[in-house]
């Protein structure tokens, strides 16, 4: 049951935050909307660096000087994939 509560709390927070966009989309100025979008992009970039890229480089530390190559290659492949989808 604790696992359900642990999953339910982030789900509700994300859902309510996303639903608020529908109520505020006409009330926000362009500057505020651009600022919030930039903030969200910064949060996601920080999350990818500290939660994904740094642990990937630590796991590849036995490669020596090439320890950052698998993480960098995966990062750029992900960017290219998202650009392809867009």
The pLDDT of residue 83 is above 90: yes
Residue percentage of the chain with pLDDT more than 90: 20
Distance, CA of 65 to CA of 41 (rounded, Å): 30
User: Exposure string (b/e) for 1-18, b if CB count within 10 Å is 16 or more?
Assistant: eeeeeeeeeeeeeeeeee
Please state the rounded mean pLDDT for residues 15-36.
82
Report the pLDDT averaged over residues 26-54.
87
pLDDT tops 80 at residue 24:
no
pLDDT at 8: 92
The answer to pTM > 0.85 is no
């Amino acid at each position: 049951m604790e696992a359900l509560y642990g999953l339910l709390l982030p789900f509700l927070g994300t859902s309510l935050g996303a639903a608020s966009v529908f109520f505020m989309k006409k009330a926000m100025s362009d500057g505020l909307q651009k600022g919030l979008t930039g903030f969200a992009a910064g949060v996601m970039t920080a999350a990818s660096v500290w939660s994904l890229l740094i642990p990937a480089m630590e796991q590849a530390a036995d490669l020596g000087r090439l320890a950052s190559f698998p993480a960098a290659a995966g990062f750029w492949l992900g960017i290219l994939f998202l650009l392809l989808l867009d």
